[in-house]
């Protein structure tokens, strides 16, 4: 049974929720515990929970409040994931190079189980990493994150039993990615310091700069960060195709 410590937010970086919760977003903090709590309680970003390496859970926001953890984001064709999601920030300096401790993952499984029981709108497909909903812009929780172990505990999906297949053309790979929930190809930029989607990357609106195009290759790499971490290249192998088709059909 997970114990939750109160660490109530001390900034205005949240708002009341108006949409139903249907998504759970997992992150790594890239900061140690003390700095994570300081930034998320007092800064311009926030999350519902911070999970320490020893498994201690700190609650910053109530589930009925919207946090600022996802930023510019898209999942299953809908943008603005913050409004519909609960965010867990997991303390790890770099989940692409550092393992997640066992005690932390055991506590995470307990915490996710409690959150999903309280918010039955969260389907398995809607348990996501930040990199899933903001490909190219974000790469957390990283290749070291044990997604398969979570799926075996009933949290999120894992494409077990996938077989290798002939590699399809890019448009078909993109349709499989979208069937899994991933965004379509898109572009984003910054305006007044905030990220915005850009619908025509060749002609961004006035005031928008630093335009980045997110291609099928970038979105496939996000898929691989999670489901094929030993080949997070954006290049589809026959094994990648099998995983994609299996996950799309789940």
Active site residues: 89
HSE at residue 174, side-chain half, CA atoms within 13 A, is 12
Least distance between Zn ion and beta carbon 140 (Å) = 4
- List the one residue from 23, 24, 27, 50 that touches Zn ion (CB under 5 A): 27
Q: Which residue carries 């790499």 as its tokens?
A: 221
Least distance between Zn ion and beta carbon 205 (Å) = 26
Span from 2-10, 30-38, 123-131, 238-246 in contact with Zn ion (CB under 5 A): 123-131
Residue number with CB closer to Zn ion (80 or 239): 80
Write down the H helix ranges in 50-169: 102-118, 130-133, 147-152
Residue number with CB closer to Zn ion (27 or 48): 27
The SS3 assignment for 47 reads: coil
Q: Which residues pair with 87 in a beta bridge?
A: 25
- List the one residue from 108, 140, 232, 241 that touches Zn ion (CB under 5 A): 140
Residue 184 DSSP class: P
Distance CA 51, CA 90 (A): 5
Given a contact cutoff of 8 angstroms between Cβ atoms, the answer to whether 71 and 188 are in contact is no
Least distance between Zn ion and beta carbon 138 (Å) = 5
Decide if residue 245 touches Zn ion (CB under 5 A).
no
Residue number with CB closer to Zn ion (130 or 221): 130
Span from 106-114, 135-143, 158-166, 203-211 in contact with Zn ion (CB under 5 A): 135-143
Residue number with CB closer to Zn ion (140 or 185): 140
* DSSP string for 27-45: EE-SS-HHHHHHHHHHSS-
Decide if residue 130 touches Zn ion (CB under 5 A).
yes
Span from 29-37, 139-147, 148-156, 222-230 in contact with Zn ion (CB under 5 A): 139-147
Distance CA 98, CA 89 (A): 15
Paired tokens of 153? 């505990």
Decide if residue 48 touches Zn ion (CB under 5 A).
no
The footprint of Zn ion (CB under 5 A) covers: 27, 130, 140
């Amino acid at each position: 049974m997970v114990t939750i410590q109160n660490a109530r937010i001390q900034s205005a970086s949240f708002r009341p929720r108006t949409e139903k919760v249907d998504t759970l977003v997992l992150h790594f903090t890239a900061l140690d515990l003390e700095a994570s709590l300081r930034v998320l309680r007092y800064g311009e970003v926030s999350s519902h929970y911070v999970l320490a390496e020893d498994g201690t859970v700190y609650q910053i926001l109530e589930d009925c409040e919207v946090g600022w953890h996802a930023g510019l984001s898209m999942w299953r064709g809908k943008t603005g994931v913050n409004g519909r999601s609960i965010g867990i920030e997991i303390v790890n300096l770099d989940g692409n190079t550092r393992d997640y401790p066992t005690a932390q993952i055991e506590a995470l499984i307990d915490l996710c189980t409690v959150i999903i029981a309280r918010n039955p709108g969260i389907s398995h497909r809607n348990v996501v990493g930040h990199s899933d909903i903001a490909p190219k812009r974000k790469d957390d929780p990283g290749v070291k994150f044990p997604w398969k172990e979570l799926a075996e505990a009933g949290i999120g999906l894992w494409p077990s039993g996938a077989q290798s297949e002939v590699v399809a053309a890019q448009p078909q790979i993109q349709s499989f990615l979208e069937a899994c929930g991933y965004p379509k190809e898109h572009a984003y930029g910054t305006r007044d310091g905030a990220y915005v989607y850009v619908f025509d990357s060749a002609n961004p609106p006035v005031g928008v700069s630093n335009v980045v195009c997110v291609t099928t290759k970038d979105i496939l790499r996000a898929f691989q960060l999670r489901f094929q971490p030993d080949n997070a290249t954006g290049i589809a192998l026959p094994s990648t195709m099998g995983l994609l088709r299996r996950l799309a059909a789940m």
